[in-house]
Structure 1
Amino acid sequence: MEHTNQINTKISIEKLGVILSPSKLGFENNGVLNPGIFQEGEQVHIFYRAVEDGNFSTIGYAKSNGPSEIVERLKHPLMTRDFDYEKHGVEDPRIVKIDDLYYLTYTAYDGINAMGALAISKDLKHFEKKGIITPPISYKEYKYHLEHCNQEKLNPKYYYYYNLFAQIGLIDEEHRFLRDKDIVFFPRKINGKFVMLHRIWPGIQMVQFENWEDLTKEFWGNYIKELSSHIILDPHYNFEINYLGAGSPPIETKDGWLVIYHGVCETNIRKTYHAAVALLDIKDPTKVVGRLPYPLFSPSEEWEINGVVNHVVFPTGTALFDDDLYIYYGAADKYIAVAKVSLKSLISELQQNKV
């Protein structure tokens, strides 16, 4: 396993290198990336996006003893493409346990639409799919609802996708829906409600609800009319100026909810994906109390710079061993890698960068 250190100007990050690579198996011969992580004591369950020729994705499974020693890896997908809404891919899983159920969220891709979907499990082996849980609305409907929003508080980039699709003639396509990705649950209910981060481009929003059946078209229409009040993080710093997306499930600490996310900026070489971090209020996670004005880490190693999509670090899961926080991420859309940081130091730095 390759090993290197990257020292940020403020935070010390140790990059431990690649822990999973594509194999010769047909379902994952093009890439393994963007894993959902669930830790049970010393064991780490790894649910990863497995990509085959033609960019068709399923979800693979591996398990490690400790943060990076792989001791099990399935030779077949754990979750396959079963429905029309995911016929091109089940992608980028995240996973939490709430009460006695595991909730695995993922991006369902049908070749046109990329939308958030949910599956649940009692044993981490058998998953029952619950379908799409993000807004089932068209871009025209999105614009209509958005026009009722508080325009003074709304980043004009929220109109970008509508305007882009209008320019290239896609708005009138009957089956094209609002793209909503990076669906992440908090690991427990707050005030009796599920709390979920999601990404309507370009920022990260938060939705709270009692049952996933509540997430109807009417619910989402009313939600978008108040979208400015649901935005948790919008692009702000240069390294994330294009757009953001939620990463791993928020981590509960005594100082607040630690949110690791990705931020994207356009450069002279192409878009570059960075890992970033913020701290939310522990009682009211709609309030951001700290946010680093620089990346937690950025593409710098060969496995992050060159791959299927170059210059990408895409954090999606974490595991905690004592004070060492291990961050699992997709590297260049081809590999799964891990980096390590002191949780205590990271919280301290966030407290010095209050919002």
Structure 2
Amino acid sequence: MKFFLTLVAMLLCVAALGVSIRFDDLYRVERYSDLPLLMPQGIGWESKAVFNPTAIVVDSIVHMFYRSEDWSGVGRWNGTSRIGKATSSDGFDFTREASPAIEPTETYELPGGCEDPRIVRVDDLYIMTYTGYDGGKARLCIATSHDLATWEKLGPVFSNDTWSKSGAIVPAKINGNYYMYFGDSSIKLAYSKDLKNWTVYPRPVLEPRQDKFDSRLVEPGPAPLITEEGILLIYNSADFSTIYRPGAALFAIDNPRNLLKRTDVSLMEPELSWEKLGQVPNVIFIEGAVVVGNRLILYYGAADTYIGAAVVGLAW
């Protein structure tokens, strides 16, 4: 009976949220433009860098949330990060809001700020994971909203106060649980019933591979996509030459720990000048994935300074 209920839940999940993309289609990713979508601007909170964007589509409008930096930092602290917001009707031409959507207010967020958002909608709740950085330690945090305008901070995800980053939550509950892939060296999996108390599986579900593009580290990219083939997790990685490239992994819907498939080569690599030169050179770091029309749009941070986009044609 339990297996039957799990199967029914899985089928309903695919029917409601499934994206019509095949795993192998990701090898056909193409840059949308040779120019960034967004660049630093002004003299204030987004004057130094804008990068690592997440996105979600609501009523045919793309809502992008991105990390910004100002010039307030000294030493190893690069500047205070905030989360900005921009909207677009086509997924490429964005209008920015004048003020940050989320600012650092808590001791675990200051002075470094709020970094690297990832957003997902589960039922009627928008859930954003982000990194709170106090200048010395990174802590994976969660904020929730019902309207994408007012956010409630739930605080750090893990009570043991250890270094943690990069949380990508599956966009549907499985057997009544939220599932989240996280980590910035290997990728682990955690589950929770209330977004506040998380249990972490003891073994990573994805690790670096020797002599591959992801030999040094792997960490989650955008919130996963539910497809007919499984849970599609686009991830970011680096090799020992410190070049950051994205890959992809496919996990079973009925068991999010079960790795089904993984890309043998990277989906993209830094090629353009603004992907190679910036605060951190040679970086493509995907954190946003949305479907607009017949295309999957992937939003990425480039060289920790700019925002770019790539597209994949969908099978219908």
TM over 0.5, shorter chain: yes
What is aligned with 2:15?
A: none
Is 1:86–2:69 an aligned residue pair? Answer: no
* Higher RCO (Cα < 8 Å, 6 or more apart): 2
Aligned equivalents of 1:299 and 1:272: distance in 2?
8
Aligned equivalents of 1:302 and 1:102: distance in 2?
35
What is aligned with 2:93?
A: 69
Secondary structure at the aligned position of 2:196 is classed as: helix
Choose from 25, 29, 48 the match for 2:66.
48
Aligned equivalents of 1:193 and 1:182: distance in 2?
19
Quote the offset at 1:41 in angstroms. Answer: 4.3
Q: Matched residues, percent identical?
A: 33
What is aligned with 1:207?
A: 190
Mapped contact 2:299–2:307 kept (Cα < 8 A)? yes
Which residue identity does 2:30 align to in structure 1? E
Aligned equivalents of 2:310 and 2:253: distance in 1?
25
Mapped contact 2:157–2:197 kept (Cα < 8 A)? no
Mapped contact 1:25–1:75 kept (Cα < 8 A)? no
What is aligned with 2:236?
A: 262
Is 1:227–2:245 an aligned residue pair? Answer: no
Aligned equivalents of 1:214 and 1:258: distance in 2?
25
Aligned equivalents of 2:97 and 2:194: distance in 1?
32
Secondary structure at the aligned position of 1:108 is classed as: strand
Aligned equivalents of 1:203 and 1:303: distance in 2?
27
What is aligned with 2:209?
A: 236
Which residue identity does 1:204 align to in structure 2? I
Number of aligned residue pairs: 282
- Structure 2: stretches of 5+ with no match in the other structure: 1-23, 74-78
Mapped contact 2:270–2:276 kept (Cα < 8 A)? yes
Is 1:328–2:312 an aligned residue pair? Answer: no
Aligned equivalents of 2:160 and 2:82: distance in 1?
23
Deviations, residues 127-159 of structure 1 (Å, cap 9, x unaligned): 01110003524xxxxxxxxxxxxxxxxxxxxxx
Mapped contact 1:313–1:331 kept (Cα < 8 A)? yes
Aligned equivalents of 2:152 and 2:249: distance in 1?
32
Query: Comparing both structures, which one devotes a greater share of its residues to helix?
Result: 1
Query: Comparing both structures, which one devotes a greater share of its residues to strand?
Result: 1
Is 1:185–2:185 an aligned residue pair? Answer: no
Quote the offset at 1:186 in angstroms. Answer: 0.8
Mapped contact 1:44–1:67 kept (Cα < 8 A)? yes
Which residue identity does 1:188 align to in structure 2? A
What is aligned with 1:102?
A: 126
Is 1:37–2:37 an aligned residue pair? Answer: no
Secondary structure at the aligned position of 1:294 is classed as: coil
- Structure 1: stretches of 5+ with no match in the other structure: 1-7, 138-177, 346-355
Aligned equivalents of 2:190 and 2:273: distance in 1?
37
Choose from 284, 303, 324 the match for 2:274.
303
Secondary structure at the aligned position of 1:69 is classed as: coil
Quote the offset at 1:323 in angstroms. Answer: 3.6
Q: Which structure: larger Rg?
A: 1
Secondary structure at the aligned position of 1:213 is classed as: coil
Is 1:26–2:44 an aligned residue pair? Answer: yes
Aligned equivalents of 2:106 and 2:146: distance in 1?
22
Which residue identity does 1:196 align to in structure 2? M
What is aligned with 1:15?
A: 31
Deviations, residues 252-310 of structure 1 (Å, cap 9, x unaligned): 1111111101011122xxx1100111111122221111111100111111111011111
Which residue identity does 1:309 align to in structure 2? V
Quote the offset at 1:214 in angstroms. Answer: 2.0
Aligned equivalents of 1:80 and 1:261: distance in 2?
26
TM-score by length of 2: 0.85
Aligned equivalents of 1:323 and 1:259: distance in 2?
20
Is 1:115–2:139 an aligned residue pair? Answer: yes
